[in-house]
Amino acid sequence: MAQGLQREMKRTKQVADMALHRGLMSAGLGIDKIPPEAPTGAGAFGVMLAVGVFKGIKLTWFNNTELDLSHYNIYRNTASPVTNAHLIAKAHATVFVDAGVLDTTDYFYNIKAVDLAGNVSEFSVETAAVRSSLDNGAYPVGSIYISVAESAPGVAIPPATLLGFGTWSAFGSGRVPVGYAAGDPDFGAIEGTGGEKTHVLGASELPAHVHTSAAHTHTSAAHVHTSAAHTHTSAAHTHQVDPPNTTSGTESADHSHAVGLSDTPAAANVSAVRTDQAAVGTVATGGVSATHTHDVDIGEFTSGSTTPAPTGSTTPGDVGSTTPGDTGSTTPGDTGSVGGGLAHNNLQPFITVYMWKRTG
């Protein structure tokens, strides 16, 4: 707000000065004694810009705002300070090229503003420059010009102003130049671009590393294993059995058979009843039997069932239980990872400059 008020007061004064000047001039009094403000430029502390151009030195400054401004006086010297004795020209614009200078010589400049009444301002802030021996061929079309010259913070002075020739365009904003490399997929094309200020690493870009797990124990809570009701069923099948024929028997030992005879049936130890009324008694028989055998022929038979049948069943129940306990342990080690997964700074050390490419 203070700056706005100052500008408004200055403007009011300028209008008043012009009105007074015209009024006095029309009245024939001619007593305007108010001088213009000292000229200022785009350089630091309001200094006008002085740059060496091809075979000359170019001066630029801001236009004074006095309504009765007439022209500017240009002063030059080869040493500081510049005095009134060094007036070299008058300019009606805010640009002046001094062609009467020599190479490799320092020149110091000052300017003053003059109004219609002849009032002269104070000197501007003194500035200096050296004539440039560069000509149009020093920066051919396609050349890159690097500079840090500014007319204000963030406002570059174009090369056409600094050098006095050429058409230029801003080049490589926010990028770093790199040398051309034939066949390189990144650097094999002129004015090719690439790279990034920040980058998020993928898994394949991470350094090889190992995650170590800390010592710990796995503990199982008490639990029961329960089997659902189910039946075991046997498929239909039979068993076929065909025993071989067998022969057994040997010569018997010398033996006898006692046969009791009785006239009375069913007597004790009576094996037969005589029918010829012979004497009752015991008859002994005996001797050695001939060697003989007994042949047994057991035929083929089938055993088992031919229809499917269950072989057993269970009802639901528990098949086992455990009490709480440890199921194993490990040696110390990492089991996880850390990091935010954010992009990291990819910038090399740098310094910021203005870059321009000559296009014409």
Dihedral sign for Cα atoms in the order 293, 294, 298, 299: positive
First-last CA distance in the chain? 44
Which helix (H) or strand (E) covers residue 320, if one does? strand 317-322
C-alpha angle 48/51/57, rounded to 5°? 105
Other beta carbons within 10 Å of 171:
17
Residue in 109, 88, 116, 104 with CA at minimum distance from that of residue 32: 116
Q: In tens digits, what is the pLDDT along the chain, a chain of 360 residues? A: 454 555 555 556 665 666 665 555 555 555 788 999 999 998 877 888 888 777 788 999 999 999 999 999 999 999 999 999 899 999 999 999 998 888 778 999 999 999 999 999 999 999 998 887 666 667 888 999 999 888 888 999 988 887 778 899 999 999 989 999 999 999 999 999 998 888 888 888 888 888 777 787 878 788 787 878 878 777 777 767 676 766 655 655 565 555 555 555 555 554 555 455 444 555 555 555 566 666 666 666 666 665 666 665 566 666 566 667 666 666 666 666 677 788 888 888 889 999 999 998
Read off the tokens for 104: 């490799």
The domain 35-135 is placed in CATH, from the list 3.40.50.12780, 2.60.40.10, 3.30.70.1450, 3.40.50.720, at 2.60.40.10
Residue 13 DSSP symbol: H
Decide: pTM greater than 0.85: no
Read off the tokens for 41: 């430029």
User: Can you give the residue ranges of every domain in the chain?
Assistant: 35-135, 252-284
The residues, any chain, with a CB within 8 Å of residue 303's CB and separated by 6 or more, are: 238, 239, 241
pLDDT value of position 26: 53
pLDDT value of position 322: 62
Please give the Cα distance from 353 to 203 (Å, whole number).
Answer: 37
Q: What is the residue-wise DSSP string for 206-273?
A: SPP----BPPEEEEEPPEEEEEPPEEEEEPP--EEE-PPPEEE--PPPSEEEEEEEESSTT-TT--EE
The residues, any chain, with a CB within 8 Å of residue 276's CB and separated by 6 or more, are: none
